[in-house]
Amino acid sequence: MKVAVLGATGLVGQEIIKVLEERNFPISDFVPLASSKSAGKVVEFSGAQVEVREVADDAFKGVDIALFAAGAGVSKRWAKVAVSRGAVVIDNSSAWRLDPEIPLIVPEVNPGDVMRHNGIIANPNCATIQAVVALAPLHKRFCLEYFSAVTFQSVSGTGRQALVELDECTRAILEGKSFEPQVYPLPIGFNVLPHIGAMDESGVSDEEWKMLNESRKILHHQKLQVSCTTVRVPVKRGHSEAIVAQFEERVTLEEANAILSEAPGIIVMAENKYITPLQAAGSDLVYVCRLRSDLGMSRALSMWVVSDNLRKGAALNAVQIAELIASRAKAF
């Protein structure tokens, strides 16, 4: 297959290239694409140095699958161009996620929805992905009514410049120097920021709306109630979430452990053991830790959920979608 990666020099684009190689995705022709600013740079793929091309109308000629990792504006500009040239676009931005005509896919949760695509498939938000991977197996058995999530999201979710800002801010604070942030509204070193994205008139942030609306769409559950507070933390890689989930039926710990232990893409940590973002970095899995009956609600479970936001939260999920497309193409 001829595969293009738009945003090939960015954090997620680089991770997509790595995952394509690791999973031996069937690629006959690899096309790395980026803006004019990054065109001419070189990326490594399968042991070869491949020059990055500037995205243009003719860049998608003959492309079978195009993985987009360059932001919503770029996706809005180029996704339909790529589709018109015959490509299936798997988009990592927020551009198409809530479009009712475009499937929003987490392969462990709703792989069948991929067949509804008309050329564009949306990759969910990183925080949503790990939450629904953990909750969907329980929802299928006990019917999820409500969940609350407090997320602790690393700066790599913002991009490469945020990683630089974390280092510079931390260094300045340790040296007793002042620091003026450029990426975040306040210094991120030794700090936490209690919202991700802009807040609307009701005080809800962009990232919190994503958790609600995307979870409902992926789980096919429009009555699902979600309460969410998204927090940016001074961690380089890996997102953590403190989740409380209430179901229509009471769930025992034994039942929950058994169901989650059999679910794809999940590792359940037992005996009060847990995983942190540092340990999850580079892993393809979603770790469910500190699973316990909630202290306040009889039909609820509490859990600590950790995953690598650049892997399962972005690149891996996108490549898994591409694998679904490739397997269906092979079947026909």
37-71 confidence digits (pLDDT tens)? 999 999 999 999 999 999 999 999 999 999 999 99
Catalytic one of 169, 228, 239, 289: 239
* pTM of this structure: 0.96
126 catalytically annotated: yes
The DSSP annotation for 289-300 comes to: EEEEE-SS-TTE
Helix (H) or strand (E) holding 21, with range, is helix 11-22
What domains lie within the chain, and their CATH numbers?
2-123+314-331 (3.40.50.720), 128-308 (3.30.360.10)
- Ramachandran sector of residue 195 (left: φ over 0; alpha: ψ -120 to 50; beta: rest): beta
195 catalytically annotated: no
Percent of the chain with pLDDT strictly greater than 70:
99
Query: pLDDT for 263-278, tens place per residue?
Result: 999 999 998 999 999 9
Inform me whether the pLDDT recorded for 260 exceeds 90. yes
For residues 61-89, b (16+ Cβ closer than 10 Å) or e, as one string?
A: eebbbbbbbbbeebbeebbebbbebebbb
Query: pLDDT for 156-167, tens place per residue?
Result: 999 999 999 999
In whole angstroms, what is the distance from residue 228 CA to residue 210 CA? 10
Catalytic one of 126, 169, 228, 289: 126
